[in-house]
Structure 1
């Protein structure tokens, strides 16, 4: 029997005028023979052979295999080391199920991974995007979940996230970023130690649950960004370890991995980015999320570990040129095929080449996480003494951009990395870091919300970590569900975040400049700890926005500063309003009139009032 003439990898159902069934195809260059076994042949390991295509791929059409059947490949290699497991999961398996014996089987999945996309849905423009990062397992409980946390709370799912989409839409969020969804070998994993790249974690709801979540999100105008991990395979997974029985030496992982000193990362073995079949495997995965599953973007984990063995800048001896080029290749394909979708690099080195175009020699990512913004704002918020708050450092990161493009960076004051209880050293939520054990204190509320104002008024794509908007405290731990009681306890803080997001998105047509490319930081008062900056797009009334941040414990009355235009400037936001928290001081921050005789290198001057550890936002009516 000849190999299949039909395309695609893994298990692909087919139906045409001549026949129906399933095509199986696998890459196994060192296998002597390959079989597929499953519920369609009573798990016979020698009944249904795959046939060599002459290019290290094996394939066959099985007419009696059906969608929903379970299956595995059975590989034979007389040269394989003792103890090698010939039963292999399909690396391209799109659905996986626990078989009741402590292991997993592939499931033949239908080709319709996504519903037809929502009519009229368009992804938010990057300069209007507000991202909300979510860990599916710990965000909100699903009463039907199979697992519970140590407190007896059910874990989360795609369905439980979908039930919160109206809440997120009301907050003003228009993009959710889901931490890795790849199938795990072990329960209660954050997703970065995954086992099966093409399968969607079945405990979250599998491909059907993801399809429905994307559909529900798009109905609300909310984009879905997926966190993908291409820098390693999970250390607990043997999915592709010595997949067909070969490796260059016993300690190496075989065909999917580097078989030399380049293989090791801190988390598991690194893929061999120089091997064409491995490059195709990663490319196919990236495009599947965007083209078959209708995700709106990809956030690539640890790009630094893809482009350099030790995650370094300026280290040519350990650079991985093949890693650099695979980033370029995939980003170019996405730009050519769906150029409006976003790819975000977690590189964390402030390396402008990550977001330079491939034509200029860069890797071509649309944006990257702004690590300097995080650390300088974190230091300013958490320092115990005002004297330690460096306004010059804060000013620098507020004005920072990559390649003169404000929206090539994603900015945040909390992320899953920065609040992780298992980090070394352990991290925690910003309110907890400000005053450990008293995260609901006045100081924690004031300085964490001051950081939020900087986040939503600085150039960049702002991102929240789940629960940040209702003063979640402590540290995030993948073993414990997030405490939603805070959402009812601190509704005022949530309203503060909502108001900031609305201003960021220009809901009232008087803060357009917060979506613009331009920033002028015109006052850096390191004595009073006051920072002021002008944001604009085209400029003019309704566009020009002035933001004043007070990182000091003393309020200011009749404080003079420059303004870019004459006339009445209205207070659009005052973080000290007691409506946000009963203990806030309601400092008198008033509309002000700018007159000639400017200061701070601006043509006009006015006076303002601003509370301690507070911020105000000014603009003019359109």
Structure 2
């Protein structure tokens, strides 16, 4: 770890074999891995000309050149005299992915968050946001202006959707092609650092969503000089798979491992969310996911670093704990099962992956609340009868990030509708109470807390030919969905490349000030205050083995979790449209929250209203 303290000013930089590195004598070293190239030249741009310098070849496909250069100089590489490409490890691309790279000296930024040590994971309340849509300005600087609001809401961790440089003016971020460069549309690297250290000053962690399973379809030039970066036979749903286990795979693995270290060290992120790791294909002796996590843990020692997975395989072994309940590798996984069960229960929709939860969504939900995953090896109809998942009941609740909405579950709908547009308020309020008061780390999607009805569309901005293909593919994707059997119906699906698809996805903060917006905001603030004061401190040392589910009849149930301090957290919930008579059911303990003000012991001895939730601590 490269951390320097001078006159109480802290600088942070990550040294790696890729990209540019400033030397002790002030010279700049340029390095590129190009095993498919015969010669590489450095093209250094000045005010009125471009200086071209041959780069000596080194072993194993490397080319390097050390020379005098100015901070902020712009450069690119010429491969075999004909291909001009940006640095694949560029720290900044002021003119987008096809332009020059810019040499950044990370030690020119002086950090002020030297006392920040992160926050323990049991305190995590995550808020996922897209930088370009979170504010009307769509920048890192504009996001800073909302940090006080998020802190007052009860958020303890901000999770940024991918920011790696992507082609065009707007993108979800999963089409990034230069993974070390924050996209210039959001601001400079220093702007991002300012966002992170300001969040730290307000007590909030910052996580970054990273994509290590594919590159986007426009702006990646590695195939021109480093074909070995890709596996020749394996493919992901989004393109060629990376070569993590063949010849030259060491340098491919190191590229992404250093990327993780770079964001955590040079930008002081508190954690990473790894996208769709089921598409990271590796048959080597040590899977790259294991090597990455082991390297991060070893590199940062006792620093609070949280690694989160998205993994459709429900591979529980990645989430294992040691004898002291400390994550061995990965801290948690996004729990799609929790979301899918709730979504089917609340909306009745059973298309696509929801079909696996159509038989009994309440049963699947209760298994999530008791054991983590709903699918722990059972066959999946959506996946053509293949088994899905591993046993998860021995993991602590902190291994599962639960949510009712996120970018995928909203944006992968044809029209990007949010739950507030699909579900009655009482039912959604009950689901929100269960989400925020259960012992699993919760996540909110931007605007959810005030009931935003702003759509979150799928959007991208590729060159014209590719944009047409994406538009056609997007509409074909929904051909089997109810209401989209005809080409005419599918033409109503928003064009991902249209400016309107992006602009309609930008949060309208004026909605927060409506009566409905204020009501939903107050609800979330109340629930998160209960969570942070009463529940989070009792989570350390807790397991799921002591969780008990008791159906009460109808759609009513009782859930009890034994907390780490020996207390019992208990939820009574009626997840249906009809009241349920509790009769002589004993309800005791200290009331933490209720969706209905008249439901307080002993008055609770009567009917449990439709979509009612009562939370008590014994």
Pair in the same fold by TM > 0.5: yes
* Residue of structure 1 in register with 2:421 after alignment: 432
Query: How big is the shift at 1:517?
Result: 3.3
Residue 590 (structure 1) aligns with: 600
Match of 2:240 among 257, 269, 274: 269
* Native 8 Å contact 1:72 1:87 kept in 2: yes
- Which one of the candidate residues 564, 567, 570 is aligned to 2:590? 570
Distance 2:173 2:535 in 1: 41
1:344·1:368 contact (CA, 8 Å) conserved in 2? yes
Q: Is the counterpart of residue 306 in structure 1 residue 288 in structure 2?
A: no
Q: Which residue of 2 aligns with 1:607?
A: 605
2:615 to 614, 617, 622: 617
Alignment partners' CA distance in 2, 1:141 and 1:49? 45
Cα deviations by residue, 1:523-577 (Å, 9 ceiling, x for unpaired):
21341x112112332455xx432211111223356544345xxxx6333212235
Counterpart in 1 of 2:474?
Answer: none
The Cα shift of 1:167 comes to: 0.5
Residue 337 of structure 1 is aligned with which of 299, 321, 330? Answer: 299
Alignment counterpart, residue 509 of structure 2, candidates 484, 487, 511: 484
Q: Is the 8 A contact 2:454 2:506 kept in 1?
A: no
Residues 1:176 and 2:158 are matched in the alignment? yes
Structure 1 contact 21–62 (Cα < 8 Å) conserved? yes
Cα 1:510–1:390 change in 2 (3 A) is closer
Moved over 6 A (4+): none
- Show the 5 A alignment for 1:273-312: 273-274=244-245, 275-307=249-281
The reply to whether residue 134 of structure 1 matches residue 129 of structure 2 is: yes
Are 1:536 and 2:536 matched, yes or no? no
8 Å contact kept, 1:511–1:619: no
Q: Partner residue of 2:494? A: none
Cα displacement (A) at 1:113: 7.4
| One of 527, 535, 550 as aligned partner of 2:574 | 550
Distance 2:49 2:80 in 1: 16
2:442 aligns with 462
Deviates further, 37-46 or 455-464: 37-46
Partner of 1:82: none
Residues 161 and 172, structure 2, Cα contact 8 Å, conserved in 1: yes
- Cα distance in structure 2, aligned partners of 1:114 and 1:517: 42
Asked whether the equivalents of residues 18 and 255 of structure 2 are also in contact (C-alpha less than 8 Å), the reply is: no
CA gap 1:29/1:433 in 2 versus in 1, 3 angstroms: same
Give the Cα–Cα distance (whole angstroms) in 2 for the partners of residues 35 and 295 of structure 1.
Answer: 34
Counterparts in 2 of 1:23 and 1:358: CA distance versus 1, 3 Å: farther
Q: Secondary structure at the match of 1:572?
A: strand
Describe the SS at the equivalent of 2:408.
Answer: coil
Deviation at 1:44, TM superposition (A): 3.9
Distance 2:84 2:123 in 1: 49
1:240, CA displacement in angstroms?
1.7
How far has the Cα of 1:408 moved from its partner?
Answer: 1.2
Structure possessing the higher radius of gyration over alpha carbons: 1
CA contact (8 A) 1:141 1:481 kept: yes
For the residues of structure 1 that align with 2:552 and 2:219, how far apart are their CA atoms?
53
Deviation sequence 1:79-119 (CA, Å, 0-9, x none): xxxxxx511111111011118xx941100101327643514
Change (3 A) 1:363 1:522: closer
Contact in 2 for aligned 1:181/1:191 (Cα 8 Å): yes
Q: Distance in 2 between matches of 1:193 and 1:323?
A: 29
Q: Deviations over 1:411-454 (max 9, x none)?
A: 1111111001xx266653222232xxxxxxxxx21111211111
Q: Distance in 2 between matches of 1:358 and 1:426?
A: 44
The CA distance in 2 between the partners of 1:614 and 1:114, in whole Å, is: 51
Instruction: Map 1:180-259 to 2 at 5 A.
Output: 180-243=162-225, 254-258=227-231
SS in 1 for 2:107: coil
**Counterpart in 2 of 1:377?**
342
Aligned partner of 1:35 in structure 2 is 41
* Cα pair 2:244 2:288 within 8 Å, conserved: yes
The answer to whether the Cα contact below 8 Å between 1:358 and 1:364 also exists between their aligned partners in 2 is: no
Q: Relative to 1, partners in 2 of residues 1:424 and 1:383: Cα closer, same or farther, differing over 3 Å? A: closer
> 1:419 aligned to 2:410?
yes
1:508-527 equivalent positions in 2, closer than 5 A = 509=534, 512-513=537-538, 516-518=542-544, 520-527=547-554
What is aligned with 2:73?
Answer: 69
Once residues 190 and 492 of structure 1 are traced to their aligned partners in structure 2, the CA distance between those partners, rounded to angstroms, is 30
Aligned alpha-carbon RMSD (Å):
2.9
User: Residue 390 and residue 300 in structure 1: after superposition, are their counterparts in 2 closer, same or farther (change >3 A)?
Assistant: closer
Bigger RCO (CA 8 Å, 6+ sep) = 2
Shift, 1:291, TM fit? 1.2
Q: Report deviation, 1:399.
A: 1.1
Match of 1:472 in 2: 452
Instruction: Give the Cα–Cα distance (whole angstroms) in 2 for the partners of residues 294 and 329 of structure 1.
Output: 21
1:57 aligns with 2:62: yes
Q: CA shift at 1:377, angstroms?
A: 1.4
Alpha-carbon distance in 1 for matches of 2:320, 2:536: 29
Shift of 1:455: 1.0
What secondary structure does 1:230 align onto? Answer: coil
The normalised TM-score by structure 2 is: 0.78
TM-score (norm. length: structure 1): 0.78
Describe the SS at the equivalent of 1:452. Answer: helix
Aligned to 1:161, the other structure's residue is in SS state: helix
Residue 596 (structure 1) aligns with: none
Partner of 2:320: 356
More helix by share: 2
- For 1:222 and 1:189, locate their aligned partners in 2 and report how far apart those are by CA, in whole Å: 26
Cα pair distance change 1:203/1:322, threshold 3 Å: farther
Distance 2:410 2:583 in 1: 36
Deviates more, 1:369-378 or 1:450-459: 450-459
